[in-house]
Amino acid sequence: MKKITILLTGLLLSSAVLGSLSVDAATYSSNGVVNFEKDDTPTPPVDPVDPDPNKPVDPVDPTDPNGPEPGTPGPLSIDYASSFDFGTQKISTQTHTYNAALQKYKNGTPADGPNYVQVTDKTGLYTGWDLTVKQESQFKKGTTDLTGAAMTLNKIKAKSISGSAAPTTSTKVDLNPGDEHSIASAAAGQGKGTWAFHFGENATDAADAVSLTVPGTANAEVGKYTTSLTWKLVAKP
């Protein structure tokens, strides 16, 4: 009985000590905040084969020694579009198809590659968009048309490292002067970030991806014929 009495006393003393060690407690709430604004900074051109926005490139415009035109500002932008150089050809009464030169870069870095158009969607809304191209008029020298000449954009590929779902892309576009033609269309949630639509998978594949067919009946004269292309990027509602 004596042993049991001592044990009970020890338990009572331990409970008393624990009770005396309790302290007051308090809680308090603070906050975190981050604010975003739209980014109107133009996105520089990238290599269409390796479209890393952290590795901008400096493309050459074969039609303008001072070019190319800068990309459009705003969160939905056309950053770059190649101009097409079909070279100097002999006048002929036969129908011929001429291929555009590859896209070149200043200082040769990267190496010559596919011609392309580049767009960026950093709106934060991502409602989708449509990319079109229009050849404004027939190739002309002054007021003289290169009658019947037809340009084709072929082997169109879409590439991005954004991780976003890809837009729907046309594979081939036969340009009819004055008409808009779809290059790509992004549904809601698609086409986020920077996308390059290049004509041909690589330099070899791109060699005949952009072409101009001139019929023998075009009655070409000595001199330079030119046209202009309008690329349009429109957000979906």
Q: Is the pLDDT of residue 114 over 50?
A: yes
Per-residue model confidence (pLDDT) at position 109 = 84
CA distance linking residue 201 with residue 183, whole number of Å: 16
On average, the pLDDT of the chain sits at 92
Q: What is the pLDDT of residues 57-83, one digit of tens each?
A: 999 999 999 989 999 999 999 999 999
Q: Report H helices in the chain.
A: 2-20, 203-206
Mean pLDDT over 89-112 rounds to 95
Read off the amino acid at residue 143. Answer: T
Write the secondary structure of 28-39 as one string of H (helix), E (strand) and C (coil): CCCCCCCCCCCC
Q: What is the pLDDT of residues 207-226, one digit of tens each?
A: 999 999 999 999 999 999 99
CA distance linking residue 60 with residue 83, whole number of Å: 9
Read off the amino acid at residue 218. Answer: A
- Residue 2: band (very low, low, confident or very high) from pLDDT cuts 50, 70, 90: very low
Q: Nearest 10 degrees: CA dihedral of 133, 147, 224, 87?
A: 70
